[in-house]
Every structure is written in structure tokens, then in C-alpha cells.
A and B are shown apart, each in its own frame.
Chain A
Amino acid sequence: MEPSDDVQDPLAQRRLRYRELLRNITMESDDTAGAKDTQRDDVLPVGFEDSQGDGATVEATFKQPPPETPETIRTRSWVLATFWIIAVFLGLPLWHATTTIYRAPLPMQEMQNWSEGKLCKTEFPLLVEVEAPSLPDAENLLKTVQHALDDANDFAAHKPHHLRLRLAAKGKSSDEEPKVEKDENVACLLRLLPDSQNGFHHNVQSSSRIVDIHYPPPSSSSQSTVNAGLAKFVAETLEVLFSQEQELIEHLLLPQTSNPGSLNALSSQSADEARDKKAHQPRPITADISRRMSRVVKYSANYHLTFSLFTATSLPASWDIESAISQYLTPLLSALSPISNFTISTQVQYYASISSSVTPAYDDELKSWVLKKEDLSSFINSAEWPLASISNDPNLNFILYIPHPSMSPLTIPSATHSNSFLLPQWGGVTILNLEEGASSLNHLSHPILKPALDTFATHLLALLGAPPHPASLPIRLDSLTRQRSAEVLVSASSTLGSLQRLVNALPSISIPSTVSESVKDSIRHLSLACEELRKGRFAKALEMGRIAQEEAEKAFFERTMVAQVYFPDEHKLAVYMPLLGPVSVPLVLGVIRELKRAIAEFKKTRAK
């Protein structure tokens, strides 16, 4: 760089002037150094020391500031201390308060225990009353039967059902009977009746809980053998009556006792126990049970039933569905009302075509259009039929389909009894063929609707999960109650288990106190339900179980518990560094500097 250029350059001139000023102020003696300095581009000479070679002389060249007064030192210490105090006592708590995720305390161990089925040994004590007006030593007989039943129970390791026999009070049976109907403790009433013609057989009365057992009247010679035979038959009958329900409930409870879904550490001991249990009762799911289970809709306190009339033409224009329902279906629905409530809506859809993929073929032999089984699975034209429900309750659809006259009669040959089929967990469909020119073509009166509604009622019971046997409706409904209470118990406790695992596995989600309340409520109701079960009050148990389930679901589906954004630690560092770095570095360095000064001062005073 030429000096002449320097002089011409206004910036350089300015720098030169400043250097001069600086030299005057510092009263620098060494001209060469100053001259050298003016050559430098940096205003603050970093290489200044190097050019001097000796730091001491440089120090000497600057005018030292006056020594700090003790006040300023004190003030500075105070300032530093204040900053630290604010940072520690205000900043840190604030940071902590604003960033910690609130996690309400949950009874984790208890939740886990529930989900593993440790806290409630589900029992279904069934009280069976026996009425034996013509039997002399009924007591004795009962003892034998009870013994046989207990033996069977012991053999099957763990059966949730426990049958207990009791002799009905004699003589007052006529007064007692309405009471028996009301008293849910009595699962069924056995009436032992002598019958000389048919030998041993039982007869289930369909509208009450009474089961008649007929036995050949004892000939005077062989009283004891008859008794033994009768005892055996009574035990067998009871077994048959409740076996289906029993299997189903065992199947329901099975996942609870040896739950592959109970993921986190089953302690090795309980795992062993579970294995032992499995070894004891290697009960595979029987086909019947799995078929029934797959059909059943999830338990809900309310269901919505939709009855739809789909007709391929504009006829029939109307149907008497309202009166038909109130006449045929309402009694059943009110019988079911202790278990679930129902709301009903109906609709009519004209010119409703079946899906294009369904192609019935004409069968000359049957003189009808025949639907194949694979046609049935896509029979519902869900793209065009308005079947979406707006209700929040589970919806069951019942469809009455009236085919086009050109395709009538339309039949399902594999259906033996009615022209209908059931869609598991969804609803039922009945195809109704109307005769050409019949008066019913314009309007479906309720006698025509009766068979269809009969079918729908059967479908409804099947969808709700009522066992098909025994014949007695009250016994079946009782059985449904027990089954549903087992279901809600299992569902509620497994939900609690899921929640517990979720809370453990996702440390970043917050748990509001409502969750903790719901969980506690759920657990309380679970134990209540369990107690009611043990006492044999199944309807009450179902009610408690329902609340427990609702609360557990509420806790699990708490809407604030959304683990929405996964933050790796790198992200957290990236968020905090720009904020905390500039704040914390001066604070820390300030302390270090102050300490150094204090030490230096201390040394100085000691040296003096």
C-alpha cells in the first residue's frame, strides 16, 4: 500500500488523524511504534502486543484507570448477586413451572393388578331352587347333586360359575312365585315331577325361570337307585343349562388371566401361575363360541336401531313399521332394558338398487332368483344406501329389502327358515318377496311385517350376544347380563392396564387430574362390581361395571393426552442453546472474574 494512496484515501486520512489523537492522549514517546500503528488497518490493534514484544511496556503506555473505589466493587458484586438471585430464585422456578409436564399421580400398581386380573376373582354364584313336592328325601338328593356339581367344579380347576342348590320352601309356592321372578338371586327353579311315561327328561319353560324335570316314579323296590339316577340327571341338566354361558364367560375371562396383551412385566411368578393354569385347562375356543363372539357388538348402555325399508321400485309406498314395532318388538326391548336401552329410527328408500356386483341367477328348479353366498357379503350397497348413523351410540341396521318385480322371488337357498341373513356386528337383512298384484304391494301392513320383525328380533338377540340355549328367555337374559358384566369388567380393567402402560411408555404426555379422578372412580366401581358379582346381584354388577368402563374409557381418551410432537434431545438442546447460552455465559464468567479479583485482593492484603 502506497502512503500517497493512503493520504488520498479519506478513510485513511481519518484513521491517521485518529492515531494522532490517540498518540497525543497516550503521550506515546516511541514514534516508530506509532508510525507502524498508522499502517495497520485495525482500529483496535490485536497484534499490538506482538509488535511491542513486551506486554509490560504496553501496559505502561496506557493510562491506567483510577483504582476502583470499594463502592463500585460492592455495587458490582451486588449487581452480580442480584442477577444470580433472580436467575436462581425466579428464573429457574419459572422455567420449571412452565416446562414441567403435569402428571397427576395414578395408582399404577393397582391399575396393573386389575389388568392382570389379580384383584378380582370373578365368580358367578348361581342359586338354584329345587321344588320337589312328591319326593320324600329331597334334602338328601340335593346333597348328592351338590356334591356331584362341586366335584365337577374342582376338576375343572377354575370355573367362574358356582352352582348352589337350595330347597324351595314348600307349600307357599303360589305366594312365592312372583317373588322368585323378582329375586335375581335365583338363577332357576327346578321342579321335580314324577312322570311314568317318558323316563328322564327336562322341559324348560320358555317364559319363566322354571325348569321341569320329569323322572320315572320310583317303584317301591328300587327307591335308592332311582334317587341316584335322578341326582345324576339333575346335575347333568344343570350342566347343560349353563354350560354354554359358562364356556363363553370363561372365554371372555381368559385373556384377563393369561393376557398376552398385558405387556409389561408380568412377574415371573404370575407368569408361571398363568402357565400352570393354562396347563390345567387347555380349553381351546370352540367354533361355536368364536362364531358367537365374532357376531356380538361391543357392550354399550345405549344402542340405536335403524329399520330400513329398501324397495327396488316405488312400491310399496309405506309400511306400518311404527305399530309393528310397538306391537312385536317393544316387549323384547323392554325385557332387555335392564341391560341396554334402545332408540329406534326408521326410513324408507325407493328405487334402491343392490350393488352392481351382486348378480342373482335364475334357478329353474326353485323357480326363483338365487343369491349366492358371496353375493350376500356385498349385498349392502353402502355407496348408495343411506345407512350412516349420526347417533353416537352403536348402530344396528335392520333392512327389509323388496326386490324388483322382474327379479322376484329373490331367495337365499342356504337359508332354511327365512329369507334373511345376519351381518356380524352390523345388523340383519331380510328379503321380502311380494306377490305381483297383491294388495300388500302398496302398503305393508303389520301382519306382513311380523315374520320380518321376528327374524330381526332373533338377529338382535344374536347381535347382543344372548346365548341361543336354553329356551327360557329369562334365563337367557340373565345369562346375557352375566356375560355382559364379565365383558365390561374385562374391558374396564384392560383399559386401565393400557393406560398404565401408556403412561409409563410416554413420559412426555401430561396427565391432567381428571384422569386420575376417573381412574380412581373406575377402580372403585370395579371393586364394587366385583363384590356385587360375588353376592350374585348381577344386574347391579353390570351397572357398576358399566360405570367403571365408562370412567376408564374417559381416562384413556382424555383429549389433552396427545403425544403430538416427538422431541429428540437434540431438538431440546437446539431450542435452549440460543436462549440460555447468552444468558448463562456472562453470569458464570462474571462470577469467575469476581472470584479472581477477590483472590487477587486477598493475596495482596496478605502480602502486605
Chain B
Amino acid sequence: MKLSAWTGVALSSLLSTCFCHSQHTSNWAVLVSTSRFWFNYRHLANVLSMYRTVKRLGIPDSQIILMLSDDVACNPRNTFPGTVYNNADRAIDLYGDNIEVDYRGYEVTVENFIRLLTDRVPPDTPRSKRLLTDDRSNIFIYMTGHGGNEFLKFQDAEEISAFDIADAFQQMFEKKRYNEMLFMIDTCQANTMYSKFYSPNILATGSSELDQSSYSHHADNDVGVAVIDRYTYFNLEYLETHVKNASSKHTLADLFSSYDPVKIASTPGIRTDLFRRDLREVLITDFLGNVQSVEVDGDGMRLDEDLLALARGAGYNISEKEWEEAMRGTRNLYDHVNGNGNVKKEGNVAMEQRTWAGPAKVHKNGETDFVRTLMSAGAVAVCFVGYWLFSIADKV
């Protein structure tokens, strides 16, 4: 019994890379809405719905970074002051009494977002505004706002490009700041945002393809604006009806297969090539919930020692038999693993070296540096010729 449990652990740890263990010990969520103004009510409702969901599934507030770009709840145009609803039935007030916004209003900027991800924050930043993850943390990143081809607009003033996010993620990987990551984005042309990622162990999903808009689901006539986007709505619908609590066994494959492009009115995208696990084995709660692994004393841990007395001079002895048993357990395990060629092979594959070639370049297909230089030179030449012509005309 004990042995088989250990074998399981050993196999799983072999299957994963040598420092990216499939086992995570903490879950973090970064939820970002990037648009300002009252008519973007739905983006804030999207984010707050996700906030409610991850909180419902057990991620504590201290591990949720909520970035709200505007305060629609207290907007004078809000018919229901102090509330945000994501449905016209107004059943759930998303802005209830237990909400902790970490970055609000004009604090939601591209710079702050990237600083948050890479943890290059000023020294006086409070703990609640930092993403204090390590190589055992799974991170869920949800973004919503107005986007376009390879960019997402922040605050109606600036934008973050797909390259910036990809570079930030690579820096996180370099510093071992995550174990696995789920990136979910609901904007127009959302799928272009994750197209530039190049760091391992990232699973990405988005609401719409290149040149596709992402639409709102419905409007609340009393609130006066659309209250939720379609992609988020159907995600939430699945999560609310299927994933009742943190011990749910539904997988991401289930969630993704529930997407209906007709209902969503755009084609959702999923990018799995950077992700090593089979989606059918990845629980939704691996990212959206907080399932802490637990060690009960008795398996793997001994508690019958009087440590405190020990510290003052008394002690305990372990029996030789127990010791040998433990040693034998690991030895057997080792043989077992060695005998299994497949496992070993997979382990080797996982160990393959990855190279970081630097930020991705914006080359179109077949376009070389030379062509681009030529084009630049051409642009300069056109300016000269133009000036020349004008000066001739001027002279005459």
C-alpha cells in the first residue's frame, strides 16, 4: 500500500522534468480587466465573475491579484450603486462585501502588469500587490478588454503587445516563477495574443481568432449596458454547473469541449504545444481551484518524536527495522522504474534543452532582414526624391 503510493509519486516525478514537477503546492490567479469607462462595464463584470469563481474554488485572496481598471460599481451612472452584475437577472452581486482589489483604476498599466509578472517591483510594494510564486505554483491568468491583432489595449491609453507578454513569461520561466500556467483571454482577436509565447508549460486559450470580434452576451436594460462577454459567459456557465467545489474531477478537456463556436459567436482557440500534460488529465482545479496536497502523519511523516524535549536534551531512536524498511522501499522502487523503459525515455525527452533565442521577431513569412533594410532605404530615398522634385519646382 505504502509502496504503491510511493511508486506513484516516483513515476510522476520522473515523467515531469527534473525541476518542473507536475505536483504544485500553490495556486495563484492574476485577473486583469484593462478597459476604462462605463460602457465597458462588461469587462469588469467578466473579471469579477472569474474572481468569484476562483475564490469559490478555494484560492485565497492573498493569492489572487485582481486588477480592475475602472470602478463601475461606484460610477454615477450605475443604477444599482455599489454593485456589479454579470447577468440581467441580477442574482449575484459580484461586488459583494468580500472583495479585495489589488490594482485599481489608473494603477492598471502595462508597466505595472509586467512588473507584477516579473516581480520587478519597487521595494515598498505591499505583499498583496506581488505575485510571490515559485516553481511549485500554478498560475491562472485571465485578461479581458479591447484587443486587436497581437495587442491588448490598457486604459484607453496604451497597449501591451503579444511579444511583451511572451517575454515576460519567459523571464518568469527563467526565474522559475511558475510550474504551469493557464492563460485565458477574452478580447477581439484574442488568439493572436498567445501566438508569440515560447516558454514551456503554458496552456493558452482565447475567445476569438484573427480578424474575429468577441461579442457581448446580453445587456441589462436597467443597467443600460452589456453585462458580460459571450466567451466568459459560457466558461462561467460550465464552471458554475459542473465544477461545484474544489474536489471536482472535471478536466480542462471537458471545459474546452464545452465551447460552442456558434453560441460564442467566435472561434475559441487553444494552444497546447507548450504544455506537456494531456488535457484529459489536467483538472480544472489545477488552475482555477486551490487543492493543497496534504501529508497526513503516518504516511511519510513520523510524529512520535518528542522534538521539543529533544531540543532540550532528550531524544528518540528509530528502530533499525523501520530504517531498513524505508531503505528497501526506495530500492525496490528504483529497480521498478529502471525496468520500465518507457518511463525512462519520457523522462529523457523532458530533459531536452531549450534555448531562448530572444524575443520573437515580427517578420512576415519569407521576409528577410535584407528586404526590410531595402524597404527602409527606399522610404528614405522617396523622401529625398520628393524633396528634390520640390526644390526643382521651387527653382523654376
Residues of A within 8 A of B (CB): 44, 46, 48-49, 201, 203-207, 240, 254-255, 260-261, 263-266, 282, 284-288, 290-291, 294-295, 298, 328-329, 331-332, 335, 355-357, 373-380, 382-383, 387-392, 412, 414-418, 420-426, 450, 453-455, 457-458, 461-462, 468-473, 494-495, 498, 501-502, 504-507, 556-566, 568-570, 573, 577, 581, 585-586, 588-589
| Interface hits, B271-317 → A, CB 8 Å | 290-308, 310-317
Q: Which residues of B contact A570 (CB under 8 A)?
A: 362
Do B384 and A389 touch (CB < 8 A)? Answer: no
State in angstroms the CA–CA spacing of A502 and B353 once bound together: 17
State in angstroms the CA–CA spacing of A562 and B113 once bound together: 11
Do B298 and A589 touch (CB < 8 A)? Answer: no
Ranked nearest first, the 6 interchain pairs of A and B with the lowest CB-CB distance are A206-B315, A382-B60, A416-B298, A388-B62, A357-B245, A287-B6
Q: A382-B58, A414-B296, A505-B358 are in contact. Are A205 and B315 (CB under 8 A)?
A: yes
Residue of A nearest to B294 (CB): A376
Shortest CB-to-CB span from B63 to chain A, Å, is 8
Do B9 and A260 touch (CB < 8 A)? Answer: no
Q: Pick the residue among A254, A461, A589 that contacts B307 (CB under 8 A).
A: A461
Do A331 and B311 touch (CB < 8 A)? Answer: yes
Do A378 and B245 touch (CB < 8 A)? Answer: yes
Q: Pick the residue among A286, A388, A424, A498 that contacts B128 (CB under 8 A).
A: A388
Q: Pick the residue among B294, B307, B334, B358 that contacts A332 (CB under 8 A).
A: B307
Do B293 and A288 touch (CB < 8 A)? Answer: no
Do B110 and A564 touch (CB < 8 A)? Answer: yes
Residue of B nearest to A504 (CB): B358
Q: Which residues of B contact A331 (CB under 8 A)?
A: 308, 311-312
Q: Pick the residue among A46, A389, A473 that contacts B315 (CB under 8 A).
A: A473
Do A423 and B294 touch (CB < 8 A)? Answer: yes
Q: A425-B136, A458-B301, A573-B376 are in contact. Are A453 and B387 (CB under 8 A)?
A: no
Residue of A nearest to B121 (CB): A559
Q: Which residues of B contact A282 (CB under 8 A)?
A: 338
Do A240 and B299 touch (CB < 8 A)? Answer: no
Q: A264-B355, A287-B9 are in contact. Are A380 and B330 (CB under 8 A)?
A: no
Q: A255-B18, A357-B247, A376-B296 are in contact. Are A577 and B307 (CB under 8 A)?
A: no
Q: A49-B396, A357-B245 are in contact. Are A557 and B293 (CB under 8 A)?
A: no
Q: Which residues of B contact A424 (CB under 8 A)?
A: 25, 292-293, 295
State in angstroms the CA–CA spacing of A420 and B294 once bound together: 10
Q: Mark B311-344, 1 if CB is under 8 A from A, else 0.
A: 1111111101001001001100110011000000
Shortest CB-to-CB span from B387 to chain A, Å, is 4
Shortest CB-to-CB span from B8 to chain A, Å, is 8
Give the segment of B69-77, B163-171, B222-230 that binds chain A.
B163-171
Q: Pick the residue among B303, B354, B384, B393 that contacts A417 (CB under 8 A).
A: B303
Do B296 and A562 touch (CB < 8 A)? Answer: no
Instruction: Please give 13 more A-B residue pairs, beta carbons under 8 A apart, in addition to A418-B303, A564-B164.
Output: A261-B19, A265-B355, A291-B295, A378-B247, A391-B127, A417-B302, A418-B297, A421-B294, A422-B294, A423-B25, A454-B308, A559-B120, A565-B161
- Is residue B175 within 8 Å, beta carbon to beta carbon, of the partner chain? yes
- Is residue B13 within 8 Å, beta carbon to beta carbon, of the partner chain? yes
Residues of B within 8 A of A (CB): 6-7, 9-10, 13-14, 17-19, 21, 23, 25-26, 55-56, 58-62, 98, 110-111, 114-115, 118-123, 126-128, 134, 136, 161, 163-164, 167-168, 170-171, 174-176, 244-247, 290-308, 310-318, 320, 323, 326, 329-330, 333-334, 337-338, 351-359, 361-362, 372, 376, 379-380, 383-384, 387-388, 391, 393, 396
State in angstroms the CA–CA spacing of A105 and B393 once bound together: 53
Do A577 and B383 touch (CB < 8 A)? Answer: yes
Q: Which residues of B contact A502 (CB under 8 A)?
A: 171, 174
Shortest CB-to-CB span from B111 to chain A, Å, is 5
State in angstroms the CA–CA spacing of A375 and B246 once bound together: 10
Q: Which residues of A contact B17 (CB under 8 A)?
A: 260
Do B314 and A206 touch (CB < 8 A)? Answer: yes
Q: Pick the residue among A207, A254, A387, A562 that contacts B310 (CB under 8 A).
A: A207
State in angstroms the CA–CA spacing of A566 and B136 once bound together: 29
Q: A206-B310, A240-B323 are in contact. Are A425 and B26 (CB under 8 A)?
A: yes
B60, B301, B307, B323: most-surrounded residue (chain A CB, <10 A): B307
Q: Which residues of B contact A389 (CB under 8 A)?
A: 62, 127
Do A471 and B120 touch (CB < 8 A)? Answer: no
State in angstroms the CA–CA spacing of A284 and B56 once bound together: 39
Q: A424-B25, A454-B308, A562-B114 are in contact. Are A505 and B295 (CB under 8 A)?
A: no
Residue of A nearest to B355 (CB): A263
Residue of B nearest to A384 (CB): B98
Do B320 and A290 touch (CB < 8 A)? Answer: no
Residue of A nearest to B62 (CB): A388
Do A565 and B359 touch (CB < 8 A)? Answer: no
Q: Which residues of A contact B14 (CB under 8 A)?
A: 284-285
Do A569 and B291 touch (CB < 8 A)? Answer: no
Do B21 and A290 touch (CB < 8 A)? Answer: yes
Residue of B nearest to A574 (CB): B379
Shortest CB-to-CB span from B289 to chain A, Å, is 8
Residue of A nearest to B360 (CB): A566
Shortest CB-to-CB span from A56 to chain B, Å, is 14
Do B245 and A505 touch (CB < 8 A)? Answer: no
State in angstroms the CA–CA spacing of A375 and B247 once bound together: 8
